[in-house]
Amino acid sequence: MTLNVRGLPFEVPSYSLTGDILSFQRCGLQYRYYNGSALPPSRPVQMWTGEFVHGVLEEAYRYWHSHHPPFPWPCTPTPWPAPATSLARLPHDIGELGDLVEARLAAGGKRPRSREARNAAYERVNAAITLLAPHLFPLITAAEHRLSGTRLMPPLPGGGQGRGDRYELTGIVDVISSIVVSANLQNPLVRLLQSRIAPGYPDYDLIVDYKAARRPAVPSRFWQHEEWQVQTYAWLWRQMPQTRPVGAGLLIYLNELAPSRTDLVELKREVLQGTTDVVPANGTPDYYALHQWQPGPGGTLPALSSAFRLQRALRIVDVSAQSVLNAVGQIDQVVSHIELSALNEHQAGNIPAHWDACGEQQDCDACDFRHFCPSPANHRAANAPPRPSPVAPG
């Protein structure tokens, strides 16, 4: 006797911009395995470093908002190992805030992968609060702000329809800033924004998203994906009643404020290949520091100026009406691919055949399922055409 396959239940699926959309774009198969069910709920797959950095910056802002301690912010000199006593610390010491966030993450079973990763995370939040917080914190009106909206369910690739006729799109914006230009003309961050956004915004809202990562190369898929994410945040914000116009989005790449040796190797390669948009001006100390530095084990890292590191960290994103419409259209396409993958798996009962394994090497390194992945990054790299060698500028 032939048994009919039970159809998918009718529902309004919910998709998180970070937990679903960006995770699927990074690697569809890893997303499916970590998700743990045939139909993906909105559950982020985040590493310790990202959650730690976001948590410390949020705690720092909330303390500053309540008590307004002066800058520069105090910092425990050696974050590892933790001091045996905290008597010498102030309540808003970065080490104290870090201990609080680490304890919270440890309670959920999340710990840094190494001492080096932990130290690097402390160095980056220290640099962020030292270089950026004096200009950003006074502009913040909301932190960790949840947004949601609904959109028509897009048709599946090749025809067909996903679950329901609509889907919910959710996101958590790290920072919402309300910019009153006339009151902040001396703020260097506002001056930077004013030089880049379209005229006609005397007062506007700013969408800010922290990235616990380095600035991606312009040809990288992550460059475009992160832009779409912020532009979709702008779309969600505009669906809310009584909100001011969104004048710009701001991505903050925190690794750029305290780059590691690996980050600097990538930066030098991208500068030589012309694949990054922020480079040190010819003849400046930053130019010579980077170009004369010879990557390799050991040795001192090039001392890049605070101004250049901050320039690398800040990326202003266009949120004009046309760019936002394009971004949400791209998100619709991702949702349709997730729905199709879930539908095909449901009908065939096979996971690897219907979810794309497209992660890069760093994604594979952190993936628990890399040993039986049908298309690991190193296999795809071995079969890719050779990349041209960088040529130093004359």
- pLDDT for 109 equals 82
Residue 253 has pLDDT above 70, yes or no: yes
Q: Stretch 84-95: mean pLDDT, rounded?
A: 69
Reply yes or no on whether the pLDDT at 120 is more than 60.
yes
Q: Is 394 exposed, middle or buried (0-12, 13-18, 19+ CB in 10 A)?
A: exposed
pLDDT at 160: 74
**pLDDT at residue 92, rounded to an integer:** 84
Give the residue, 215 or 155, on which the prediction is more confident.
215
What confidence score (pLDDT) does residue 83 get? 53
For the record, the structure tokens of 97 come out as: 């805030």
Q: What is the mean pLDDT of the chain?
A: 85
Model-level pTM? 0.87
pLDDT at residue 309 is higher than 60: yes
How much is the average pLDDT of 233-242? Answer: 90
Cα torsion 28, 34, 36, 37 to 10°: value is -20
What's the distance, Cα to Cα, between the start and end of the chain in Å?
Answer: 76
Give the residue ranges of DSSP H helices in the chain: 23-26, 28-35, 48-67, 94-107, 115-127, 133-136, 188-194, 221-238, 261-273, 285-292, 306-313, 321-348, 361-365, 377-382
The tokens describing 286, both together, are 């930053």
Q: Which residue has the higher pLDDT, 5 or 377?
A: 377
For the chain, the domains span: 48-327
pLDDT digits (tens, 9 = 90+) for 22-38: 999 999 988 888 875 54
Q: What is the mean pLDDT of residues 35-56?
A: 65
